[in-house]
Structure 1
Amino acid sequence: MFGWEFPPHISGGLGTACYGITTALLKQGVQITFVVPRLYGDEDAATFRLVSASGTFIDLSEPGFQKWKERLEYIEAQSALAPYSTDQATTITSGVSGLHEEAISAFSHKFQLSGKYDEHLLEEVQKYALIGAKIAAEYDHDIIHAHDWLTYQAGLAAREVSGKPLIIHVHATEYDRSGENVNVPVFEIEEEGMTQADHIIAVSEYTRQIIINKYGIPAEKVSVVHNGILPKPFHLKQSKPVKDKIVTFMGRITYQKGPEYFIEAANKVLKMVPNVRFVMAGSGDMMHRMVLRAAQLKISSRFHFTGFLKGDEVDRMYGMSDVFVMPSVSEPFGIAPLEAMQADVPVIISKQSGVSEVLDNAIKVDFWDVDALADAIAAVLQYKGLAQAFRQNGTDDIRKLNWDNTGIKIKNIYESTTKQLV
């Protein structure tokens, strides 16, 4: 299994999902070697093999490396690309110029990867492919499972070496991150991975349709397996530093998550319910614009930007929240609403999200309908009975959405895929 991040070092839902899937598959008796670009030493991997790609020695004269070496030599990242967490523009170019001499000379030594989402990301993705081939030759395995575009080429390289079937797991597509203005090199990596994979897992029917319609993949090649949430006892509500109600947005402050719709709705809500505070928890390339927009609307005194939260900070934020809002423009799934419901917080989500397929006890609006979003927020804040009903019934949704069910479905896909290829 190839991933790009693993708890506790995560920047979004991808690492959380990988942990949930791994945990669930272990319960099904699946033995897993999970590969990440680098390890920090504090990961929880007591029951499976967690492998760092960094420090892997590769002799590029060996068969199977030439194609991936040539790809690496023809890539030069000239601007930042960070599809999950960034404060910079998400653009990238590819060219025909080679890497610097010092990088080329390092090919005969150990590769070191940062695992970061920075200006060297595309180079690291290509290096990861080389390392994927090496690891596949060293570790016994029956199937290869690659999570999101960052690892697709590593999965393809591993399959070339071992001949084992490749499953790719689509947690998000470039259309989710960038809309119609896709980054072409990333789209091409996604398209290649989807086309050549033996089977594809999509985190929602919403994502499955994008894969079929935008990438031209046959429908029978794509299965839907919804994400889950780990059982977690949530303690009593946190004491708030203010008496006002708190409405929370938590996620990357970037196009995909629809932060601007949250701010516009907040402005309308404050005209109906003045004793409300709005919190935007996260970081991203639209942060500065959102701060300026709140100032333009003269609601800065009612708006709080916390920056990126993690661990206990997330739990405390949920514990102070009266409403959670996820107005995503395009959300393949969306684990955050499940976490909010688990913390006994009513949730409002966009219809353009995969999680809307499996939540019965959430208010659903179109991301662009700011009036409907504002009305929904105001209603939950003003009518205690409505909020209480969503809190009580939300536990039913959470009970059904567990990673164990996800693990069972994925194992079935493993078995059916290997049987088809025999």
Structure 2
Amino acid sequence: MKVLMFGWEYPPHILGGLGTASYGITKGLAEQGDMEITFCLPKPWGDEDKSFLNIIAMNAVPIVYRDVDYDYVKSRIGNVISPELYYKMRDHIYADFNYMLVNDLGCIEFSGKYMDNLHSEINNYSIVAGVVARQQEFDIIHAHDWLTYPAGIHAKKVSGKPLCIHVHATDFDRSRGHVNPTVYSIEKDGMDNADCIMCVSELTRQTVINQYHQDPRKCFTVHNAVYPLRQELQDIPRPDHTNKEKIVTFLGRITMQKGPEYFVEAANMVLHRTRNVRFCMAGSGDMMDAMIYLAAERGIADRFHFPGFMRGKQVYECLKDSDVYVMPSVSEPFGISPLEAMQCGTPTIISKQSGCAEILTNCIKVDYWDIHALADSIYSICHNDSLFNYLQTEGKREVDQITWEKVGLWIRELYERTLGLRK
């Protein structure tokens, strides 16, 4: 089966959970052996793992004809696309786009990030998708998150092939209900045009059904998973904090969706009971300054650390250095980070308002707003060795069974149902 997949980020250059999930899903599908995946990215860097899929650099697909030399094409973009594919794509330009801003190769430049001109990049990405869909051979289309829904719709209209969309989050999650009407319309248009809607949790599925008025029969829950730790990450030592200060960590975007203020308020309550705990708020976001000020107002700034955004090995070093991991999200479609923490042997507390709470058992679950329960849970793990050891051992054992291979098999079944190959 050949899959044309549209994404926005991919390891090692990731900005959030979307890139991590995209890797897991494609790798889980590829494990089946007979899946051929072509993954479209706005701006790949050339160092992505292409051992099990093809990556198309959308910033190297021409939409305006340019008569350029082979060697020049190779020198300019040869690290992300072959000149042969560039010329094949050039033969499938379907309209006069000379009015658009393109480079010397007739290609649109993308940032590949989440810039102020994001809506413009989303539109341009869908234009390029029209060229790709005309040139590539595929059986089904899979579009990840609202950023790529317009591209998926365009590819469907060009090819007549069915469209699966993957809802990793909705604007209801990101905005606490203050929905951006433009984003909502893009999301709803994607869902209306989709033949199959994959949702990262039942929580998200219900949002799709009730807030976007979708047919429940085409909406399916596809929980995320986690990959086994690479050997170099397994080799990171866990410090022994016995009779020493404990470390409690929040790691993620410091935005209102993630509930960082509840973490600070719970920390304040814990520190009224003991001073033998330090708190780490790792990440970046528009609420970071406010959280620094809040910690100062509560008089706990000397027990708080803000190390900033972390990536790659830094994340796992931080998780292994922690005695407790906390995810107090207000609305979390899934949340892969608790699985990663449990994988590292770090006892975890999550909000009941997170999708991963549907599949995790060996962690503590509290309502995001219940800072008393959150503070009690943090204090208990830090001061009860039996509870710490139980959550550490059983949490890791549980997460080791939640694999992307199982997710890939379920997605494969949904593809086949959508194509009418099985009932």
Aligned to 1:38: 43
CA contact (8 A) 1:324 1:346 kept: yes
Find the partner of 1:27 among 27, 31, 36. 31
Deviation at 1:367, TM superposition (A): 0.3
Aligned to 2:60: 55
Q: Please give the alpha-carbon distance, in whole angstroms, between the structure 2 residues aligned to 1:18 and 1:185.
A: 24
Q: One-letter code of the match for 1:219? A: P
CA contact (8 A) 1:166 1:198 kept: yes
Aligned to 2:366: 365
- 1:356/1:107 Cα in 2 relative to 1: closer, same or farther (>3 Å)? farther
3-state SS in 1 of match to 2:420: helix
CA contact (8 A) 1:37 1:114 kept: yes
Deviation at 1:109, TM superposition (A): 2.6
- 1:65/1:327 Cα in 2 relative to 1: closer, same or farther (>3 Å)? farther
- 1:64/1:205 Cα in 2 relative to 1: closer, same or farther (>3 Å)? farther
- 1:375/1:138 Cα in 2 relative to 1: closer, same or farther (>3 Å)? same
1:344 and 2:341 aligned: no
1:218 and 2:223 aligned: no
Aligned to 2:15: 11
Deviation at 1:4, TM superposition (A): 0.2
**TM-score normalised to structure 2 length:** 0.88
RMSD of aligned Cα (Å): 2.2
Q: How does 1:211-290 map to 2 (within 5 A)?
A: 211-232=208-229, 233=231, 234-235=234-235, 236-238=237-239, 243-290=244-291
CA contact (8 A) 2:323 2:347 kept: yes
Q: How does 1:126-137 map to 2 (within 5 A)?
A: 126-137=123-134
**TM-score normalised to structure 1 length:** 0.88
Which stretches of structure 1, 4 residues or longer, exceed 2 Å deviation after superposition?
62-66, 101-109, 233-236
1:419 and 2:420 aligned: yes
How many pairs align?
Answer: 388
- 1:413/1:56 Cα in 2 relative to 1: closer, same or farther (>3 Å)? same
CA contact (8 A) 2:344 2:396 kept: no
Find the partner of 1:157 among 149, 154, 159. 154
CA contact (8 A) 1:238 1:316 kept: no
Q: One-letter code of the match for 1:49? A: N
CA contact (8 A) 1:148 1:171 kept: yes
3-state SS in 1 of match to 2:325: strand
Q: Give identity over the alignment, percent.
A: 49
- 1:115/1:421 Cα in 2 relative to 1: closer, same or farther (>3 Å)? farther
1:125 and 2:122 aligned: yes
Instruction: Give unmatched runs, 5+ long, in structure 2.
Output: 66-91
3-state SS in 2 of match to 1:7: coil
Aligned to 2:70: none
> Could you give the per-residue CA deviations for residues 24-50 of structure 1, whole angstroms, max 9, x where no partner exists?
101112100000001112111122111
Q: How does 1:67-216 map to 2 (within 5 A)?
A: 103=100, 109-216=106-213
CA contact (8 A) 2:42 2:58 kept: yes
> Could you give the per-residue CA deviations for residues 220-242 of structure 1, whole angstroms, max 9, x where no partner exists?
110111111001152330478x9
Q: Please give the alpha-carbon distance, in whole angstroms, between the structure 1 residues aligned to 2:183 and 2:331.
A: 17
Instruction: Give unmatched runs, 5+ long, in structure 1.
Output: 70-100
3-state SS in 1 of match to 2:419: helix
Deviation at 1:392, TM superposition (A): 1.3
Deviation at 1:393, TM superposition (A): 1.0
Q: One-letter code of the match for 1:26? A: A
CA contact (8 A) 2:41 2:58 kept: yes
- 1:318/1:108 Cα in 2 relative to 1: closer, same or farther (>3 Å)? closer
> Could you give the per-residue CA deviations for residues 188-245 of structure 1, whole angstroms, max 9, x where no partner exists?
10000011101100010010000001100011110111111001152330478x9410
3-state SS in 2 of match to 1:146: strand
Q: Please give the alpha-carbon distance, in whole angstroms, between the structure 1 residues aligned to 2:94 and 2:200.
A: 32
Aligned to 2:86: none
